[in-house]
Structure 1
Amino acid sequence: MTFPEPTMVPVNGVELEVFEAGTGKPVILCHGWPEHAHSWRHQIPALVEAGHHVIAPNQRGYGNSSRPPEVTAYDIKHLTGDLVALLDHYGYDDATFIGHDWGAYVVWSLAVLHPARVNKVINLSLPYLDRTAMPSIDFMESVLGSDYYFVHFNRRPGVADALFDANTARFLGNLYRELASTTPLVDLATAESVPGEPVLNDEELAVLVAAFESSGFTGGINWYRNFDRNLDLLAAVDPIVRQPALMIYGDRDTIPPSPTLKDFVPGVDVLSLDAGHWIQQERPEETTQAILKWLAD
């Protein structure tokens, strides 16, 4: 099947660009940074074939979805609120949520903020983060330095945004590699070359480049600028994820497995694939089959 045509859906005071296909039990796919709903292109046909109504939004700040100017409009309550409102729009009490990278953070948070709306969780790359041990931006700066991208995005607002906007194709082409680069993330926008085979072919990269040339990077980077705010917003929430969950790691990802995952997600199954960070795009068949098998069990 071809990638679905988008629909603009009003939710939670914004509009989301949503790609949907199929009928049956709902599955909502949540992309990460700097991604797009198109990152799920390999999984959507198989999920539809397996009898699911697949809903893949470009989350706020991405694609043609709304890009509010206020940084606080991208905090975790707004991001999870968008997904709850998306369920309401389609008339679903709950759904299975699948997230990658920042999308995984949103899905983990949704599972504890709105547990009745989430029946199963599948997350890729980013495990559940123990909030009692999660470092703040200040801590990251003291350990990793001011050039670490989380710190850079927060301490130097607008600088990385402008650099990525001016070098979109080079930045994304350098970032989407099977081998993680040792080049600082912000410097990927101007690096002549980086190691590793490209994850995306020319046509796939062109889709991503066109999307970010239209939207810019500020909306997505604003997710990072709410990192400390999110800790405060989640501080009083029961941190245990009680839904059945599947965590898929990439063996070559720079994000390590979590030693406390089962403490906070007692119903989790864990799987590792021979992949870097872009799991569902690097290993599409293995990822898709793992998802389908787990959902069928």
Structure 2
Amino acid sequence: MTIDFPEPTHIPVNGVHLEVFEAGRQNAGNPVVLCHGWPELAYSWRYQVPALAAAGYHVIVPNQRGYGTSSRPADVTDYDLAHLSGDLVALLDHYGYADATFVGHDWGAFVVWGLTLLHPDRVNGVVALSVPYQERGETPWVEAMAAALGGDFYFVHFNRQPGVADAVFEEDTSRFLRNLYRKNLPPLTPEPGNALINLARAETPPGEPLMSDSDLAVFISAFASTGFTGGINWYRNLDRNWHLLADVDPVVRRPTLMIYGDRDPVAKAERLTEFVPNVEVVSLDCGHWIQQEKPQETTEAILTWLGRRGTA
């Protein structure tokens, strides 16, 4: 590792064990929980952890279920929003916190949005990176994606051809992650087939490496051990999540910071303020892997927003 990262502890929560990294325990009473995306790890937040701890926060960073040495339940339905948000609520209970500020990137952002809808009293602030609030709409999400983007779109493919992509990614874990974690990518061009499967097998990936070989080795080692199915199972609950959110208030009423990458292929939300009325938006000149590609700018944006809220 090229940066000093805390040693993990294993904490029983919600019927599973989570591998949890923490810093700034001396700042107890001021928690910030960092939630990674796919296919990431708690280590994705390596640049933010020491800065947040130094600024007066108790930083709690789980490898969420399916990742690292955290539990990887066998049943697909054990990875829906009820379970994933329940893990975070139980993590707060473990530390004795009524609520916390939750920061999420990619799928971690989706989970934090869902947590805030399902357990609003446990969240005092939201920071989302890359993935904005997703409107529920009238049609289940996978069905809507299939109609708009086709069966090869990776969300649809993961759901309708279970196990296929998992196996491809695991054929050469190192090559897949090395090809995926890139920056300064050229504009996307349409291609036949599943773009992620194509990328996993590409001999010459576009763009430039996102991270050093030593940092990449942390991810390669973890996923070589666990495989990718636990994380992909999050995708396989997308329509289940759509049903779970049917009867909740769809408006996020907590103070929120939305951080976009201007070159991120994930689309920005056109109606974000309708569903997240108390939101501030920051855009950085980067792609999808925001907190790793622009670590200083990301950290500064989060700390500035937290500071205005007077949380440290």
Give the aligned partner of residue 53 of structure 2.
Answer: 48
Give, in angstroms, the shift of residue 112 of structure 1: 1.1
Contact 1:33–1:220 (Cα < 8 Å) also in 2: yes
Contact 2:140–2:242 (Cα < 8 Å) also in 1: no
For 2:128 and 2:272, the matched residues in 1 are separated by: 12
> CA deviation digits over 1:166-218, x for unaligned, max 9?
21111111111114465611221111012111111101110000010111100
What letter is aligned with 1:246?
Answer: L
TM-score (norm 1): 0.98
Mapping 1:1-297, distance limit 5 Å: 2-22=4-24, 23-24=26-27, 25-132=30-137, 136-180=141-185, 182=189, 184-297=195-308
Q: Percent identity, aligned pairs only?
A: 65
For 1:97 and 1:138, the matched residues in 2 are separated by: 29
Q: How many pairs were matched up? A: 297
For 2:139 and 2:122, the matched residues in 1 are separated by: 25
**Larger mean Cα displacement after TM superposition, 140-149 or 240-249:** 140-149
Q: Secondary structure at the match of 2:208?
A: coil
What letter is aligned with 1:49?
Answer: A
Q: Secondary structure at the match of 2:182?
A: coil
Give, in angstroms, the shift of residue 291 of structure 1: 0.5
For 1:146 and 1:187, the matched residues in 2 are separated by: 15
What letter is aligned with 1:220?
Answer: G
What letter is aligned with 2:86?
Answer: G
> CA deviation digits over 1:143-182, x for unaligned, max 9?
2122111111111111111111121111111111114465
Contact 2:32–2:102 (Cα < 8 Å) also in 1: yes
Q: Secondary structure at the match of 1:18?
A: strand
Contact 1:125–1:255 (Cα < 8 Å) also in 2: yes
Q: Secondary structure at the match of 2:17?
A: strand
Contact 1:170–1:188 (Cα < 8 Å) also in 2: no
Give, in angstroms, the shift of residue 134 of structure 1: 6.7
For 2:136 and 2:202, the matched residues in 1 are separated by: 35
For 2:92 and 2:50, the matched residues in 1 are separated by: 21
Contact 1:241–1:266 (Cα < 8 Å) also in 2: yes
**Larger mean Cα displacement after TM superposition, 11-20 or 192-201:** 192-201
What letter is aligned with 1:130?
Answer: E
Contact 2:257–2:280 (Cα < 8 Å) also in 1: yes
For 1:64 and 1:48, the matched residues in 2 are separated by: 24
TM-score (norm 2): 0.93
> CA deviation digits over 1:238-267, x for unaligned, max 9?
011000000000000011211111000000
Contact 2:34–2:61 (Cα < 8 Å) also in 1: yes
For 1:134 and 1:78, the matched residues in 2 are separated by: 23
